[in-house]
Amino acid sequence: MLMFDTVATGGTFDILHKGHYALLLKAFEVGKFVIIGMSSDKYVTLKKKKITNKYSVRLKNLKRFIKQEFNKFNYSIYELNDFYGPTILTKEIQAIVTTETTKENCIKINELRSSKDLPKLEIIVVPLVGDKQGKVISSTRIREGEIDINGKKLTS
């Protein structure tokens, strides 16, 4: 397995679920140090996303989740006000862990990095996590009471 000194990943991390676990697991597997970008409240509003928790709560929950699930301390959390965050600012980041849904944005990041004479990031795509019916587990479906954080169906 490839190992990188520094990798980046990101998300809104509103209601933490199995999909977030898979994304972070891969980031910690391939990165000696992980930079986690988390959407600011302003950026969430700009993207017209509905969330349950404000940034401060999401930050606290994400730190607790990482400690409980991975017992890792080799990371930092960066407040994102756009998709790019620190990925276009430093050559220290070598790879980005993403899902198929945001892979296109990672390609745009690499284009911008090239224009700034920064090396391209290795793009590592983590499959989306589905429930037993094959539908993607998401914070939206959890918020709507359709499934729990593990993708178990709650409504009929």
Each residue of 52-87: pLDDT tens digit? Answer: 999 999 999 999 999 999 999 999 999 999 999 999
Query: What pLDDT is stored for residue 2 in this prediction?
Result: 73
Query: What pLDDT is stored for residue 132 in this prediction?
Result: 87
Contact 112, 120 (CB under 8 A): no
Q: Which domains are assigned to the chain? A: 4-129 (3.40.50.620)
Average pLDDT for the chain? 95
Contact 149, 140 (CB under 8 A): no
| pLDDT 10s digits, 92-110 | 999 999 999 999 999 999 9
Sign of the CA dihedral with 131 first, then 35, 12, and 60 last = positive
Distances (CA, A) of 97 to 36, 67, 86: 10, 19, 14
Query: What pLDDT is stored for residue 154 in this prediction?
Result: 87
Residue 155 has pLDDT above 70, yes or no: no
CB-based burial label for 2 (10 Å; 0-12, 13-18, 19+): exposed
Radius of gyration for the alpha carbons in the chain, expressed in angstroms and rounded: 15
d(CA 11, CA 129): 15
| pLDDT 10s digits, 8-67 | 999 999 999 999 999 999 999 999 999 999 999 999 999 999 899 999 999 999 999 999
pTM over 0.85: yes
Question: From edge to edge, which strands make up the β-sheet containing 122-126?
Answer: 75-80, 31-39, 4-11, 95-99, 122-126
Residue 112 has pLDDT above 80, yes or no: yes
Beta strands in the chain (DSSP E): 4-11, 31-39, 75-80, 95-99, 122-126
SS3 82: coil
